[in-house]
Structure 1
């Protein structure tokens, strides 16, 4: 076998590996429920912090989604949860995702059409509707009122309380 044939076979092998790798990544992306657009921001414990922080002075709110994809010119937030998938996403997770949608709307000038909550083995596409936006703003106002008054809601004292960032302030 000549040098030309060896180079041709090596090129063919590398091309085949590249095609298989692209296919595998595309399939995994679909399984995880990730959008097909370009990944523009990621914030995970396994990677160095390269996620984009979003901030809204108007709402005095800031946050960093786990992933942000650009799909057809729109930013799509993805929030990854480590726990097993519930039958439906938890309300607190939906509101967290809605907060990222609001932040993207404020910084980009237009809202994302949806966001994704990815649990282990299952993902949920959550439409960012005017009703969800209004609910988020209502909950934020309620939370600010509680913080301002010093009154905290009754808790349930479970693992969520132990992991909560406000457990030292809460009267639960």
Structure 2
């Protein structure tokens, strides 16, 4: 079964698919990858609990300061649990858990202020439950979708369940981009394709959520994007099934220099 990650790997470098899927080479996660895993876990757990916590705690008269405190406390507990869970991996990667926790506390404090302001503003116009629905729409976190006939599966960070249909959301802990990168576009288009085939409803857009700045970027997904995903899927299947090493690989300093598989690469990258 091919994964959405495999498609993104192919967009980055076709040879990466060959190294990972055919030669089965495994490399230790980089510090950035470990850090990203923890940040991703904090966001996932926080959002899974936040709607329930606020629904149970808020009243029409709840002041802004209390809303902010509730949101921060929930996020802090999720961060504490995640750092404790991943502490061995963090230390192995050379990341100080205490420093990471300090960073998370600052980020969560800023985010709690922004999120509390959104909820309080919505509460001024409607009832508490509706305000929570507006700011924190019903969602499903970390859902694996597998399509046997297509031969593709993917784990979606979050699915916003809207009246118009499901919207795939992908968390990003790295640098912000005004426009989606080619890999990000493929990732969301692949999720949209899987959701459409599963639900029988069109999925015309997805969302990239940059966790460091709590910002969402909508990404349009049309038929051309989905057709491109299918073409990529065929190429990845060919490499894996025929165990065929890609013949033409574009060598770029910024890509090859940052690739953690470069020591295993058969191409003369020069790094």
Question: TM tier, shorter chain?
Answer: 0.5 to 0.7
* Distance in structure 2 (CA, Å) of the matches to 1:114 and 1:80: 15
Distance 1:102 1:14, change over 3 A: closer
Tell me if the contact between 2:239 and 2:245 (Cα under 8 Å) persists in the aligned partners.
yes
CA deviation profile, 1:110-163 (whole Å, cap 9, x unmatched) = 22121011224343211221111111111111222222342135364233x31x
Tell whether 2:210 aligns with 1:116: no
Report the Cα offset of residue 54 of structure 1: 0.8
For structure 1, the residue ranges without an aligned partner over 5 or more in a row are 1-12, 29-34, 43-50
Tell whether 2:242 aligns with 1:151: no
Report the Cα offset of residue 17 of structure 1: 1.5
**1:142 — aligned with what?**
235
TM-score with structure 1 setting the length: 0.67
Query: Superposition RMSD on alpha carbons, in Å?
Result: 3.2
* Distance in structure 1 (CA, Å) of the matches to 2:196 and 2:263: 32
Question: Secondary structure in 2 aligned to 1:53?
Answer: strand
TM-score with structure 2 setting the length: 0.45
* Distance in structure 1 (CA, Å) of the matches to 2:240 and 2:67: 50
* Distance in structure 2 (CA, Å) of the matches to 1:14 and 1:95: 42
Higher RCO structure, 1 or 2 (CA under 8 Å, sep 6+): 2
Q: Between Structure 1 and Structure 2, how many residues are aligned? A: 142
Report the Cα offset of residue 62 of structure 1: 0.9
Tell me if the contact between 2:158 and 2:168 (Cα under 8 Å) persists in the aligned partners.
yes
**1:85 — aligned with what?**
176
| Higher helix content, 1 or 2 | 2
Alignment of 1:54-69 (within 5 A): 54-69=145-160
For structure 2, the residue ranges without an aligned partner over 5 or more in a row are 1-57, 69-113, 120-133
User: Structure 2 residue aligned with 1:127, among 215, 220, 226?
Assistant: 220
Tell me if the contact between 2:143 and 2:157 (Cα under 8 Å) persists in the aligned partners.
no
